[in-house]
Each structure stands twice: as C-alpha cells, then as structure tokens.
Structure 1
Amino acid sequence: MTFPQTRSIHSRRAAATTLLAACLIAPGIAAAGDADEWHYRVNLYGFFPEISGQVRAPVPGGAEIDVDADDLISNLEIAAMGGFEAQKGKWGMFADVIYMDVGDSISNSPAIGQGTVPLPPGVTADASLDVEAVAFTIAANYRFVSTPSDTVDVFGGARLLDASTELEWRFETPMGPLPPPQGQGRVKVSRDGWDGVIGAKGQHRFGSRDQWFIPWYVDVGTGESDLTWQASTGIGYRAGWGETFLVWRHLDYDFGSSRQIEDLGFDGPAVGVAFSW
C-alpha cells in the first residue's frame, strides 16, 4: 500500500468488487430440448482485482492509496463471493454478490508513497487503511440466440455498490507526535446506491465434445452514479462434476466530480467453480 501526494484513492479491488460476477460471466444453462424445465447454476469464485479511485478527503496535503492483488490476498480480513442463475427456455435471471474487507498499513516510514513525498528530517509516518465493499447485481435475461455452439442473452436489471474507505495517519518526530490537525487524524468516506443496467452475455463452446467455452459479458448503466459499465471474458472447461473458469473482468464507476468519491474501478482476474442441475 502506498500513500502518495494527491487526494485519490488508488485502490483496485470487487469490486473485487466486483466485486463482480461469476454468474454474470457464466454460460447459459438451458438446452433447447427441455425448454419447459428450470435449470439452475451456482458458483463460488475468487476475484482478485486492483482497485483505483479518486476521493475527496480532508487529509493534510492530500493522500493517494493503492491496494493491489497482493494486498487483497495477504491482508484480507473477510470475503464472501458467489452467484446464482436460473433459466427456463428463453427466460431466466441471475444474481451475484461480492463482499470484501481489506486492511493495510505502514509504520515508521520516512516518506509517503514509496519515497515520492519525503517527510522533513526526523519525521516518520504511521498510517492505516481499511477498504470495505459490497457489490450486488440482479437481472432478468432473454435468450436471443441459442445454437449448439453459441448462446447470447440480453438482460436488464440493477446493481448496488456500497463502498467505504477509512484512513488514519500519525506523524512522529524525535520529540513525540505532532499535534492535530496536521500531526494526526482519521477520515472515513463512503458511497452507496443503485444503478439500472442493461447488457448482454453469452458463451461460445468448442472442442471435440464442446467441453471448452469462452464466456463473455458486457453491461452499462446509470442511476446513483453518472455512469457504470462492466466487461469480462475468459475461458472455461466443463467436466462431469461441474465447470471451472478463469476470466478477466473490469468494473467501473463514475460518480461525478462533485462527490466525495469521484470514481472507482475494479480490474483483475476471477477464478472459480460452478455446478449445474
């Protein structure tokens, strides 16, 4: 984690988020021959994004925070990630949720931001950061294309993002800590709200037994945010017991320059397993 000089939070999460969506990126599950039956799919996955963003926070001199995938793995406090799909003939629905709580800190540092902002001689910095996020998507879909090798669904729904960052800092000198407000402080900035989204998702199957597939997903929306969009693609393998998949996903939010949190981005790999019945 780094704390350079601007008022930005470079945190690439997830969201991981999403935090977000193995069932969003998952293939359809209904076959043409049994259109009157419901088919279900549940998945468990790990999303390891980088999280970037701009935040307006009253930190003396400004602060930039960077949380990458290594921080998520080594400093993860708690996480829950999963998704669900249901399909009957041409109609279906899906839902996906990611929750994560990530913490990181620096101690006795003579500079902020990997040495880019050196402190006065003898002054050191202690700082800690906590990033918490929930990303939840729910939508209904219509199967626009269904062939032996390809499925394409169009959908409409809503996405919730609830994210907060909490930063504490303290500057020490040989004579002891600097007094507030310049020497120490704490600030918490949060953002939550729903956006309507529309998009398309599907898969292309290939291989001698169609056991390989390429999932893809794209959406765009607005509401509480000025603009949100998401895209993902990757590769998966279908075995007798279920499926495995590896995808790359990007989720982006633009809240507007007048907001405390101006924008957030989640960009990184997701890997998981899925079971259908």
Structure 2
Amino acid sequence: MAIRSAAAMAGVTALSCLLSSAAYAQSLPAPGQTEEGWRHTLGFYLFTPLRTHGTSTVSGVSAEIDLDLGDVLDVLDFAAAGRYEAWNGDFGIIVDANYVGIGEDTTLPGPAATAVDVDVRQKWFALMGAYRVADGTYGANNQRYTVDLQGGIRYNSIRQEIRFTTPGPTNPPTQGGDEGWVEPVVGARGMWRLNDRWTTIASLELGGFGAGGNDLQVGANIGFDYQPWDRTAITFGYRYFSVDYSDSTSTGPFAYDVTQQGPYVGLKVFFN
C-alpha cells in the first residue's frame, strides 16, 4: 500500500513544464530592429497550465493526473525557461532551454509512519536551425507577415523518484529514477504585424517521433506581442502542450502521458 500511495503522489506531482519557451521568439524583425546583418531576440517565459491531466507511471504503478494551477503551485520548487534566436536574412539559429523542479514530503498513514519524499525534475535543451519561407504584406495598410520552418535536435530529461524512510534499520528501495533521451524536433511559425505595436503569432512544434521512448511531444501556441518600447515586448497568449513517454527501468515501467493547456506570458528583448 505504501508504494501504491507514493506512486499516486508522484502522479499528482509529476507534471510537465510550468515554464516553457516553445516557439515564441521572432523571425519578423521587431519595430526599431534593423534587418541588416544579425538580429537577436532573447526571451523569458512563464506557462501557467489551468488544467493538467494524464497518467504517471513509477515502478510499474500508474496514477491518474487531474490538476488545476493551484495544485501545481503548491508543490513547485523552481522553474526557468528561455529562448535565444539569431537571424541573418532568412536564416536563423535557435537555442531553447527549460527546467522545472517539483517536490513534496509527506508521511503515509499507518503504524509504520513511513516518510515519503517525491522528487520530480524535467528539463530540455534544443538546438535548431530555421528558414523564413514566406515574407510579404497584406491588407489595405500593407502590414508585414512572415512564415518560418524550424528543425533540429532536443535533449530531454525527466526524473520521477520516490524515496521512503521508515523507523526501522533499513529503508525500502527508491522507486523510479532519471531518464534522458535525444530526439528530433520540427516546427512552423507565422507572424502577422497588426500595427507598429501589436503582432499576432501562431506556432506548432512537434518532437519525439518514437526516439528514446517519446512517441510524440506537441506544443501549439497562439498569441500576441505588444511592444511599448523600442527594444522590449510583452508576449502573451494560449498554449497547448502534450507528451507521451514510456520506458522500462530496473524498478519497472516508467512513463508519463500528460496534456496541459493554459495561458502564457513572457518578455522579449531585441538587439542587433
């Protein structure tokens, strides 16, 4: 019963990313940013999933996940996400990094008074190339739009670990562990300038394709950039994220199949 209860707790806390940079940065030059030579965008982002649902499996025991944002914030330890893009003409280089840590300590009910420590960590690091395949104008005011395609590799790592401490001289073995893998990732993004302060952004990113046990990882976003200053913009919108990963470890099957959706907000800085 102790292992099953702890695995259920891991299911409650084993989320995907609270923070995620996805495809929010910039191929369309920002107002005030010259298009000659290299142009750069650095962004920091917060993704706040209003609902998280799916299944987490640790040491062969599965638990259903159905959480709101408050549940996530109760167990969040630390999270950070950022994205850097460098463009020269129609060609771009993208670096994308994410980290989230979640943990909880509790004591299982019963005479044994077993203490349980749940430790969940997820991170990824991606390096991609990009190419702008469309660049034109639309509407009576000839506002500019661009479409770019992206592709590269991403390193993913996830920890779902449950440690037990009992009053006796020995403790039960730690359940779960760390899993890491490298996978391909592809994406597409469209940007439409509305005026000199507002830009619409829509993007889709796909990864995994069975590599390392990750069947498919999906990120889709639609939102806006608002640029009140020459070199800085506020970005916000709505994001859908899902991942379906499974593998076998020495302690049994290890998997998570999670879907999240909710608003995102971030800050971009532009420079040449």
* Smaller-chain TM-score bracket: 0.7 to 0.9
| Residue of structure 2 in register with 1:26 after alignment | 25
Identity, in percent, stands at 24
Alignment CA distance shift 1:47-1:264 (3 Å):
same
Shift of 1:56: 4.0
2:219 aligned partner, one-letter code: Q
Q: Are the equivalent residues in 2 in contact too, given 1:29–1:40 (CA < 8 A)? A: no
Whole-Å separation in 2 of the counterparts to 1:64 and 1:109: 21
Deviations 1:197-242 (A, max 9, x none): 2220122222xx3422222211223222232222122233112151
Distance 1:162 1:89 in 2: 34
Match 1:204 to one of 163, 174, 192: 192
What TM-score do you get using the length of structure 2 for normalisation? 0.75
2:43 pairs with 1:9: no
Give 1:94's aligned residue: 94
CA distance in 1, matches of 2:14, 2:240: 10
Q: Which residue identity lines up with residue 41 of structure 1 in the other structure? A: T
Unaligned residue ranges in structure 1 (runs of 5+): 111-121, 172-176
- 2:224 pairs with 1:235: yes
Distance, in Å, in 1 between the alignment partners of 2:56 and 2:83 is 29
Query: Map of 1:101-112 to 2, 5 A cutoff?
Result: 101-107=101-107
Q: Which amino acid aligns with 2:244?
A: D
Taking only aligned residues, the RMSD between alpha carbons, in angstroms, comes to 3.6
Give the whole-Å Cα distance in 2 for the aligned partners of 1:5 and 1:108: 12
Q: Give a deviation string over 1:242-272, Cα, whole Å, max 9, x none.
A: 1111233333332347673333435243221
Q: Name the counterpart of 1:270.
A: 264
Number of equivalenced pairs: 251
Q: How does 1:1-277 map to 2 (within 5 A)?
A: 9-11=11-13, 13-16=15-18, 19-21=19-21, 24-30=23-29, 35-49=35-49, 50=52, 52-57=54-59, 69-107=69-107, 126-147=115-136, 148-169=143-164, 186-206=174-194, 209-221=195-207, 222=209, 223-224=211-212, 225-241=214-230, 242-256=232-246, 260-265=253-258, 267=260, 268-277=262-271
Q: Compute the displacement of 1:159 (Å).
A: 1.7
**Partner Cα distance (2:257, 2:184) in 1:** 17
Whole-angstrom distance in 2 between the partners of 1:263 and 1:75: 18
Q: For the residues of structure 2 that align with 1:67 and 1:233, how far apart are their CA atoms?
A: 23
After TM superposition, give the deviation of residue 157 of structure 1 in Å.
Answer: 0.9
Amino acid in the other structure paired with 2:80: A
Change (3 A) 1:136 1:247: farther
Deviation at 1:145, TM superposition (A): 1.5
